[in-house]
Chains A and B, each alone.
Chain A
Amino acid sequence: MIPAPAFLSNPERFMAFSRWAAPMFGALAAGLGLAGLWLGFAAPEDYQQGDTVRIMFIHVPAAYMSMFVYACLAGASFLSLIFRHALADAAARAAAPLGAAFTFLALVTGSLWGRPMWGTWWEWDARMTSVLILFLLYVSYMALRASLDDETKAARAAAILALVGIVNLPVVKFSVDWWNSLHQGASVFRADGPAMPPIFLWPLGLMALAYTAAFGSLWLVGIRAEVWRRRAEAAALRAARS
């Protein structure tokens, strides 16, 4: 998905585009997801992990989405901060709960995977910890938006926070990796071990694409809802005055 802010910055054009793009992405997500799941269940059991390896097809794309959506959120925030564009802000606002949901999914599936793999529900492994902190960043973004009454101010404050977050993320990632290397004993599992056989790679790739398409569809729907909400509010305000 190539973002085309210049083309879509016109609200009318955006609404016309998203009207058919949102269901199309949705259909794409369903198709890819079904294919991915089919291949995932057709794949043989892992010789070490057995059947539980299939959680990977849900977990890994969710973890990837958690970061991808934050990048989208920060990109939209940057555009709304620089160009003061209402649509960019609507996009940032709509991305946050979706990103939080993907991150939460990654945490839950990671925990479910960890139970048979590591014998614990939660392991302070570097990746899991990074994702947990990312989840906290989403929560703080939504909390800030929710607690400022003035919408324009809330939008700008939240955009500043999103940019502070994206600058901090690599540092957080680095610090957590560094911390993990200090406490080697705790780390049990490294996914960057041997190369993954193609029979796992195919369903994983399809699922990642399906997640991306699903996000694209839901994001567009969320932005549309946000645009409608603002139009309704503006209309109510006009009606109240006349």
Chain B
Amino acid sequence: MIADLEIGNLALRRGGRLLFQGLELRLKAGEAAALTGRNGAGKTSLLRAIAGLVGLEAGTIGFGDLDPVLARSDHIHLVGHQDGQKPARTVREELDFWTLWTGGTSASAEMAARAFELTPLLDLEVRRLSAGQRRRLALARLLAAPRGLWLLDEPLSPLDADWRARFGAMMAQHLAGGGMIVAAVHDPLPIPAKALEISA
């Protein structure tokens, strides 16, 4: 189980430009952080750095006693702008594959589909979904395969008010169960979260 996130003195660089430096963040089990900042400040890059996808210019990212390689392979979910769903595949195919890939079972996929009300859409192709439905399909992975740390990039933006509230409840439940969330947001998160403004 992943129970700590420790970011110390972090600096990131993208395409020759220093995004930020000296960034500090500590999260314990059950806590969330909301990243704010203008476009291009490096919110997405920070999420990708925590996921181990981009290299660090300086500083450290640690997960308590957990080996970072193991943390990133087994304990972290990343839901970005680009959700990796293929337009020509059906909702069921995509949900089942990503559930299995991230360590869930077909039963947990079914449960997640119900929670996000995707069950009637399961046989549709992904390209027929609306933006909100498509986001729900991407978010369904979070419930389909239990992983402790959720990295969410603008998770709420395509959702309507009703679904924002319902996903807020799911996030609160994840935190109550000892999970952690780091989310890049423009609007405030519907859950208590440490605010972290990213700027150069």
A residues neighboring B (CB under 8 Å): 149-151, 233, 237
Contact = CB atoms under 8 A, between A and B. Distances in A.
Interface in B14-36: 15-17
Contacts of A150: 15
A150 B17 CA distance: 11
A233 B17 CA distance: 12
A213 B96 CA distance: 62
A149 B14 CA distance: 12
Contacts, number: 6
A152 to B, nearest CB: 8
Contacts of A149: 15
Contacts of B16: 151, 233, 237
Classify the secondary structure of A's interface with B: helix
A58 to B, nearest CB: 42
A67 to B, nearest CB: 34
Interface of B: 15-17
Contacts of B15: 149-150
Nearest to B200: A241
A237 B17 CA distance: 8
A149 B16 CA distance: 11
A237 B16 CA distance: 8
Nearest to A151: B16
6 contacts: A149-B15, A150-B15, A151-B16, A233-B16, A237-B16, A237-B17
B12 to A, nearest CB: 13
A172 to B, nearest CB: 33
B103 to A, nearest CB: 30
A233 B16 CA distance: 10
A151 B17 CA distance: 12
Contacts of A237: 16-17
A151 B16 CA distance: 9
A236 to B, nearest CB: 10
Contacts of A233: 16
A150 B16 CA distance: 8
Of all A-B residue pairs in the complex, the 6 with the closest CB atoms, nearest first, are A150-B15, A237-B16, A151-B16, A237-B17, A233-B16, A149-B15
Contacts of B17: 237
B33 to A, nearest CB: 28
A220 B16 CA distance: 25
A149 B15 CA distance: 9
A21 to B, nearest CB: 30
Nearest to B14: A150
Nearest to A234: B16
Nearest to A149: B15
A118 B15 CA distance: 53
Nearest to A84: B55
A150 B15 CA distance: 6
B56 to A, nearest CB: 12
A237 B14 CA distance: 13
A70 B16 CA distance: 29
A151 B15 CA distance: 8
B98 to A, nearest CB: 27
Nearest to A153: B15
A186 B116 CA distance: 70
B128 to A, nearest CB: 35
Nearest to B17: A237
B185 to A, nearest CB: 27
Nearest to B15: A150
A24 B1 CA distance: 63
A184 B17 CA distance: 58
A155 to B, nearest CB: 13
Contacts of A151: 16
A150 B13 CA distance: 12
B139 to A, nearest CB: 30
